[in-house]
Structure 1
Amino acid sequence: MINKTLCSAMLVVGLLASCAKSPTGRNQILLYGDEQMAEMGLQSFSAIKQEEKISKDPKLNAYVSCVADQIIKVLPDEWKSDWEVVVFDSEQVNAFALPGRKIGVYTAILNVAENQDQLAAIMGHEVGHVIAHHGAERVSQNSLAQAALQIGQVATQGSEYQAATMAVMGLGAQYGVLLPYSRTHESEADVIGLKYLMEAGFKPEASMQLWRNMNKLGGDRPMEILSTHPAPETRIENLANHIEKYKQEGVKALYQRPNCSR
């Protein structure tokens, strides 16, 4: 009954959404358009620039921009312009790209990405999120889940089992939809970015080494089924499979091998 209520609610709201396909051919439901997402991205990026210290190191900025430029020039034509790249002086091991064509790289991640090829894997992955509209899809999923829970609350109004029903529906949405889709996004961004870095002339095997480096950082990680990200071992295996697949399909460098140095 709970599953039927949740699925029915998701279906009703989903009919109001636009259907799309990601660059890998995966079906998507998008409630938000590019302009809406770009506005959200621009607001978020502006806030981050106010909160975080921006690196003034000219050599470091030139290095990061060089790698970003190589990735950007192999993107689909409609995505080849108007990107802004900012390096943040921070101990966070992180990087991101936002709708609105904004890229942020934290200096600490440059200690994990040992060379231009590994940094290109990060850049390709983050840009892949934007081009695949993962932000819009994620916000849409949250909106659909909230709508389903509200409909479920109405459906169980007055029932002695209402609290338990809503709790189970909430867990079902979190672990049955939202987390798995987030893992899907991460894996998809990995393989989209891999294709870009290969076309840009970077070494594809560096993407696997990057995740070996990430794995060495350690730290507590939840079981993969409860995590928003695939396990490093899963990502490495997926990348290895797609490197071979892309090579068999004839994916190759479109330009001369880059020479970005720190």
Structure 2
Amino acid sequence: MKFKKPLSILIVGLIVVACTTNPFTGKQTLALVPNSQILPMAFQQYDQFLSENKVVNGTADANMVKSVGQKIAVAAEKYLTANGYAGYLTDYRWEYNLVASKDVNAWCMPGGKIVIYTGILPITKNEAGLAAVMGHEVAHALANHGQQRMSGTQLQEIGAVGVGIATANSKNAEIFNTAYGLGSNVGIMLPFSRGHETEADHIGLILMAIAGYEPSVAAELWQRMQAQEQGAPPEFLSTHPSSATRIQNIQAWVPEAKAEARKFNVTTFKR
């Protein structure tokens, strides 16, 4: 038990010192692992992934992925510069690749390394639908969600060590450790992840609008996603908000996204 106070001080100290500012929300976020470590690792992992999977090049779909990705990146640069974050993307190395896979998925690594799977294209349907997906994925990278997840996991592991030390001599140690694992996951880590997804939906909507795409298309995309769902877990046990929640949020944010786009003289939006 004598270790509890020093451990608590250590955790609080880490949280206070290792923080950075989210350029889209202005909030302080966890940054225990610096981008100087994260980005080189992400770039290496991305290159390895591409070497081990079938990258589609030269097709209309592959060209569309690159074109939409570039427009989203330009929108991000415009938004960040206008809001006092010129140079924020200096260390980014944008890359957009279409990969042959039946998976209905897409992702963006820290530093702007994007993959779109061919399996998601029937759901996106068109360029604007793809922009909704890419805006969301790029938003994860811009908001440093990968960095925050790594930092959150480290704090969770430190907390587990603390619980282990504090209950080492207790006959109920195993119960306490199990309770901590379940409680920290359901009560902290899963909501943390859902918060990131909601934030990426919001930022992504703004980016696609600035890039000239109709933001309401994002809600239509999630309606199609919802129609594909089978046996989705309850929202509180999921890393993502439910499709119904996302649709409702996006529909409420559309006017804001268009208002942001108008600041950059974007008044017409491609569907």
* TM-score, L = length of structure 2: 0.86
Task: Give the aligned partner of residue 210 of structure 1.
Answer: 221
Corresponding residue for residue 33 of structure 2: 32
Matched pairs, number? 256
Say whether 1:251 aligns with 2:261: yes
SS in structure 1 at match of 2:56: coil
Q: Structure 2: which amino acid aligns with 1:151?
A: G
Q: 2:43 aligned with 1:11, yes or no?
A: no
For structure 1, the 5+ residue unaligned runs are none
Contact 1:214 1:232 in 2 (8 A): yes
Contact 2:235 2:242 in 1 (8 A): yes
Which secondary structure does the structure 2 equivalent of 1:97 belong to? Answer: strand
Confirm or deny that 1:137 pairs with 2:148: yes
Aligned to 2:84: none
Higher mean alpha-carbon deviation, 38-47 vs 194-203, is at: 38-47
Which residue identity is paired with 1:190?
Answer: D
- Following the alignment from structure 1 to structure 2, what is the Cα–Cα distance between the partners of residues 21 and 218? 32
How far 1:258 moved relative to its partner?
Answer: 8.0
Q: Secondary structure at the match of 2:104?
A: coil
Task: Pick which of 232-241 and 15-24 moved more.
Answer: 15-24
What is the CA–CA distance in structure 2 between the aligned matches of 1:212 and 1:114, rounded to whole Å? 12
Which residue of the other structure, out of 70, 76, 93, is the alignment partner of 1:82?
93
Identity %: 32
1:83 to 1:250, Cα distance in 2 relative to 1, 3 A: closer
Match of residue 56 from structure 1? 57
Partner of 1:70: 71
| Per-residue Cα deviation, 1:26-65 (whole angstroms, up to 9, x for no partner) | 3311101112111221122122112221113432211111
Q: Which residue of structure 2 aligns with residue 176 of structure 1? A: 187
Partner of 1:197: 208
d(CA) in 2 for partners of 1:180, 1:173: 10
2:114 aligned counterpart, secondary structure: strand
- CA shift for structure 1 position 221: 0.8
2:110 aligned with 1:99: yes
**What is the CA-CA distance between 1:112 and the residue it aligns to?**
0.5
Whether the 8 Å CA contact 2:98–2:115 is kept in 1: the answer is: yes
8 Å contact kept, 2:101–2:119: yes
**What SS class does the counterpart of residue 201 from structure 1 fall into?**
coil
Relative contact order, higher structure (CA 8 A, sep 6+): 1
CA RMSD of aligned residues (A): 2.4
Q: Runs of 4 or more off by more than 3 Å in structure 1? A: 7-10, 253-260
Q: Match for 1:251: what amino acid?
A: A
In structure 2, C-alpha distance between the alignment counterparts of 1:32 and 1:22, rounded to whole Å: 18
CA change 1:250–1:84 in 2 (3 A) is closer
Q: Check conservation: 2:128, 2:270, Cα contact below 8 A.
A: no
